[in-house]
A and B are shown apart, each in its own frame.
Chain A
Amino acid sequence: MSFFRIQLQRSAIGLPKRTRGVLMALGLRKRSQTVFHPVEAQFAGMILKVKELVSVQEVDRALDSKELRAERSPEPGFFIEKAVPR
Chain B
Amino acid sequence: MSRSLLRSVLELRTPMTRLPPSFLLPIRSRALTTTTQHVDPSIPPTNTPTQTSIPPRAPSPPTPNTLSRPQHQTPPAPPSAAAAATAPSTAQFLPLLRAQPNHYITILIHGRPYLVTEGDQIRLPFLMHGVLPGDVLRLTRASVLGSRDYTLRGAPLVDERLFECRATVTGVESEPLRVKVKTKRRNRRSQRVASKHRYTILRVSELKVLGPAA
Q: Which residues of A contact B (CB under 8 A)?
A: 73-84, 86
Contacts and interface: CB of A to CB of B under 8 A. Distances in A.
A82 B140 contact: no
Interface of B: 107-111, 130-141, 166-167
B6 to A, nearest CB: 53
A77 B135 contact: no
A37 to B, nearest CB: 28
A80 B202 CA distance: 13
Given A75-B108, A77-B109, A81-B137, 10 more contacts: A73-B111, A74-B111, A75-B141, A77-B108, A78-B109, A80-B131, A80-B136, A80-B137, A82-B136, A83-B132
Contacts of B140: 77-79
12 contacts: A74-B110, A75-B141, A76-B109, A77-B140, A78-B109, A78-B140, A78-B141, A81-B136, A81-B166, A83-B132, A83-B135, A86-B132
A74 to B, nearest CB: 3
B110 A77 contact: yes
A80 B168 CA distance: 10
